[in-house]
Amino acid sequence: MDLQHWLGRADDAIQQWADTFGPYERHPSLLVEDDRFAAAFEEFTGRLKDNYPFFHPHYAGQMLKPPHPAAVVGYLTAMLINPNNHALDGGPATARMEREAVAQLAAMFGYDTHLGHLTTSGTIANLEALFVARELHPGLGIAYSADAHYTHGRMCRVLGMDGHAVPTDDLGRMDLDALEDLLRGGRVGTVVLTTGTTGLGAVDPVHEALRLKERYGVRLHVDAAYGGFFTLLAGGEGPESLAPEPWRAIARCDSVVVDPHKHGLQPYGCGAVLFRDPEVGRFYLHDSPYTYFTSTELHLGEISLECSRAGASAAALWLTFQLLAPTPDGLGRVLAAGRRAALRWAELIGASDALELYQQPELDIVTYFPAVDPARLTAVDAASARVLADGMSGPDPVFLSTLKADREAFTARHPKVTADAEGARILRSVLMKPESEHYVERLHDRIERLTQALAQE
């Protein structure tokens, strides 16, 4: 689609709508002369060049990529009106769009009933889920894996709850035996399971945790902020398909969080929280005598901890879902490309003398490290840091990230590496752009050459 064309159409459409309300004169305090704006805009666009090329496939560092053009058009068009989805009075059209888009997310996870809304981030979405958990199990704590996002420990402190980090297995997934030992003590009311850890992309065994839910009466919350859309690949065909069990089990969990601003092709910030039982809405009850006055329908602000929220986020997601629905044949095709890229790169690393695979990728995150001699953690750490730094310089840059692996986690996967330090940085590449599928051989070749150059020094 021609982005410039549709942005022009957006401006025209909103202006035509605005004209139906009659002419008015803008206040002179808002007027800015073109030459003054031009000077500010030149500095502004110059400053924006101080960014990494998140759009390009040779950027394989953090979880960053540009939104889909449809999301850009949807966001900017609605932003010209600037609706606030806190109340129907602030954004009647975009509030309806939000409900429809959230219903599509609920259907993607297999929820028959739901209460949910968009948030400004996965952090706030998880905060809301833990807030409801606290209200349902007062005095009890939260359990999450040691590799879960730091959000959970932080939000437990915000909410005045005890947080319990559960050890992980050799693939970075929550150790359910260790979890059960913790649950026997009766101090935990909710267990957070992660489908796609931000470090390794590991998927906790949600389906196996269901038996603990029944046995100990705990709530199960799924942090699918990063990996949630991969449920579209569960049980499919082709090498990119995923085992269906943990993904299908989400439908039986009490709540789930997903970030459309990651694999949903949305601009920041767009998270979402969904509860399977709509009755949890009672915990959000509040009185606002000046807000909800034009409709007796449930306002989104009555089921959200946040107040003002950009209706433009809902508009962008709704418009994107009209074109790329959260279905296997819609967004599933986008995620499949990144997953195939990760599997292909794992194959290339497995056949390489210069690189070693840290562990097999579960989603679209690849972790690896330079093959060093002698094989020591300190040498791995130094080599990874050099490849990261050297890769960003020169005429053919490549942008990676690193992940700190502690001594126990590293040696469990690679016992031949001498543990002469508390841990080591390894290289980490996030292949969330579908274009990575056609670029992965070039990425691999570039990093191999960087690693070989280190060995020759």
Return d(Cα 100, Cα 319) in angstroms, integer: 11
- CA angle centred on 285, ends 284 and 290, rounded to 5°: 115
Q: Alpha carbon of 323 to those of 84, 162, 335, 427: distances in Å? A: 24, 43, 15, 35
What's the mean per-residue pLDDT of the chain? Answer: 95
- CA angle centred on 430, ends 428 and 433, rounded to 5°: 160
CB half-sphere exposure, 448, CA atoms < 13 A:
15
Predicted confidence (pLDDT) at residue 289 exceeds the cutoff of 80: no
Which residue from 200, 264, 226 is spatially nearest to 401, judged by alpha carbons? 200
77-323 folds as: Aspartate Aminotransferase; domain 2 (3.40.640)
Instruction: State the pLDDT at residue 395.
Output: 83
Give the largest CA-CA distance in the chain: 77
Domain ranges of the chain: 77-323, 331-455
pLDDT digits (tens, 9 = 90+) for 255-275: 999 999 999 999 999 999 999
Instruction: State the pLDDT at residue 295.
Output: 54
Which residue from 236, 46, 218 is spatially nearest to 137, judged by alpha carbons? 218
Instruction: State the pLDDT at residue 429.
Output: 98
Contact indicator for 73, 10 with CB cutoff of 8 Å? yes
Instruction: State the pLDDT at residue 302.
Output: 80
Place 157 in a pLDDT band, splitting at 50, 70 and 90: very high
Mean pLDDT along residues 108-122: 96
pLDDT digits (tens, 9 = 90+) for 85-95: 988 888 999 99
Return d(Cα 413, Cα 406) in angstroms, integer: 11
Predicted confidence (pLDDT) at residue 319 exceeds the cutoff of 80: yes
Mean pLDDT along residues 289-301: 60
User: Which stretch of 121-135, 283-297, 343-357 has the lowest confidence by average pLDDT?
Assistant: 283-297
**Tokens for 232?**
């579209």
Contact indicator for 429, 443 with CB cutoff of 8 Å? yes
Instruction: State the pLDDT at residue 288.
Output: 56
Question: Model-level pTM greater than 0.85?
Answer: yes
Return d(Cα 404, Cα 408) in angstroms, integer: 12
3 state SS for the chain? CCHHHHHHHHHHHHHHHHHCCCCCCCCHHHCCCHHHHHHHHHHHHHHHCCCCCCCCCCECCCCCCCCCHHHHHHHHHHHCCCCECCCCCCCHHHHHHHHHHHHHHHHHCCCCCCEEEEECCHHHHHHHHHHHHHHHCCCCEEEEECCCCCHHHHHHHHHCCCEEEECECCCCCECHHHHHHHHCCCCEEEEEEEECCCCCCCECCHHHHHHHHHHHCCEEEEEECCCHHHHHHECCCCCCCECCHHHHHHHHCCEEEECCCCCCCCCCCCEEEEECCHHHHHHHCCCCCCCCCCCCCCCHHHHCCCCCCEHHHHHHHHHHHHHCCCCCCCHHHHHHHHHHHHHHHHHHHHCCCCEEEEECCCCCEEEEEECCCCCEHHHHHHHHHHHHHHHCCCCCCCECEEEEEEHHHHHHHCCCCECCCCEEEEEEEECCCHHHHHCHHHHHHHHHHHHHHHHCC
Main-chain dihedrals φ then ψ at residue 188, nearest 5 degrees? -115, 130
Predicted confidence (pLDDT) at residue 80 exceeds the cutoff of 90: yes
331-455 folds as: Aspartate Aminotransferase, domain 1 (3.90.1150)
**Tokens for 159?**
């909410």
Percent of the chain with pLDDT over 90: 92
pLDDT digits (tens, 9 = 90+) for 12-62: 999 999 999 999 999 999 999 999 999 999 999 999 999 999 999 999 999
Place 303 in a pLDDT band, splitting at 50, 70 and 90: confident
Region class of 370: left (phi > 0), else alpha (psi between -120 and 50), else beta = beta
Predicted confidence (pLDDT) at residue 294 exceeds the cutoff of 70: no
Instruction: State the pLDDT at residue 194.
Output: 98
